[in-house]
Amino acid sequence: MNDVARIKPEDKYVSVDGLKLRYIEEGSGPSVLFLHGASLGSSADVFLRNLGPFAKAGFRAVAFDLPGFGLSDIPEKQSTAQQRISIPKFIDAAGLGKTALIAHSRSGGFAVQLALEDSSRYSHVIILGTGSLLPLQTEAQVGRYEAVQARVDKEMAQKEPTLEDARKLLQADTFNHSLISEEDVAVRYSRMIGRNFQAHQERQNHDAPAGSAAPAKPAKPLWERLADLKMPLLMIFGREDRAHAGERAELLKKQQPQINLHIVNGCKHMVHWDAFDDLMRLGVPFLKS
């Protein structure tokens, strides 16, 4: 991507279950909805460099802040289920009609669940760096990333992040640091502090209450159900992404060779940044197929 000019589209809002949800969009044509991840500071803004090029390719490219993120309202009680359910409700409120989903990180799981629940609503699914849709790590792989992430989560839970923390977070998730502008850092920081930081703390407490038992796992993990999807699926992972994602993606490719899965070298967790060109090269003809 690297010389694509970014002009920030105007913020728009729709009401879903009494909450104001903020979104940005560019272009006209078949709808493509970008879904951001769940880390502190995530928002529709992570797709600012992607919306314009997809709009120029002939799509209505839309990204919205999930409830409790960015500039969207924060529900009284936050949960992953509530966030997932907000997606089809947002689609209806924004008048997107039948929509393609481009989902990053944790939202990839949302996208697959929604597509399995109601295939009539979604035309295509593109997954970007969703580790939960890969086979589990082996015992030999587990450890280093989890220890680092546990420390980061603990630090984030104890004090509001600084501007430098925002920079480090983006650098940790991006292979090519030259892609990170001062504007990127400033926007990410603005989405990490104040009410968003408080919302993040509440989500952490809700997802992992003190002394609670581990949640029951579904009988069949989502990565084993990918073949059940009734619409085209494209998956893109970074070779250098966290938690051995590159190796695990290779394993999924070997176990389910029918899946349209690509592993990009020189790419970490921010697939839509590091692998911008690959996303355009693969994604546009995929969505037009």
Q: What is the 3-state secondary structure (H, E, C) of 164-212?
A: HHHHHHHHHHCCCHHHCCHHHHHHHHHCCCCHHHHHHHHHHHHHCCCCC
User: Is 262 or 1 the better-scoring residue by pLDDT?
Assistant: 262
Work out the pLDDT band at 87, boundaries 50, 70, 90: very high
CB–CB of 41/105 below 8 Å?
no
Distance CA 51, CA 24 (A): 9
- Please indicate, yes or no, if residue 7 is contained in any of the structural domains: no
Does residue 30 register a pLDDT over 80? yes
Q: Residue 152 has what pLDDT?
A: 56
Residue 213 lies in a domain: no
Tally of domains in the chain: 1
What's the pLDDT tens digit per position in 118-171? 999 999 999 999 999 999 876 555 555 554 555 555 665 678 999 999 999 999
Place of tokens 């209806």: 92
pLDDT at residue number 8:
85
214 in a structural domain: no
- Kindly tell me if the per-residue pLDDT of 242 is higher than 50: yes
Question: What angle separates helix 48-56 from helix 276-288, to the nearest 10 degrees?
Answer: 40
Say if 166 falls within a structural domain.
Answer: yes
pLDDT at 203: 87
Q: Which domain holds residue 174?
A: 12-208+221-288
Write the CATH number for 108: 3.40.50.1820
Q: Per the domain annotation, does 72 fall within a domain?
A: yes
Mean pLDDT of 18-25: 98
Check whether 2 has a pLDDT greater than 80.
Answer: no
Residues 6+ apart with CB under 8 A from 11: 22, 23, 24, 71
Q: Which two tokens stand for residue 90?
A: 């947002």
In a domain, 180, yes or no: yes
Whole-number pLDDT of residue 212: 38
Is the C-alpha dihedral spanning 23, 51, 99, 271 positive or negative? Answer: negative
Is there a domain that residue 251 lies in? yes
- Per-residue pLDDT at 282: 98
Among 34-43, 129-138, 165-174, 249-258, the minimum mean pLDDT is found in: 129-138
The mean per-residue pLDDT over the stretch 172-193 comes to: 97
Whether 2 maps to a domain, the answer reads no
pLDDT at residue 211, as a whole number: 41
Q: Which two tokens stand for residue 288?
A: 């037009």
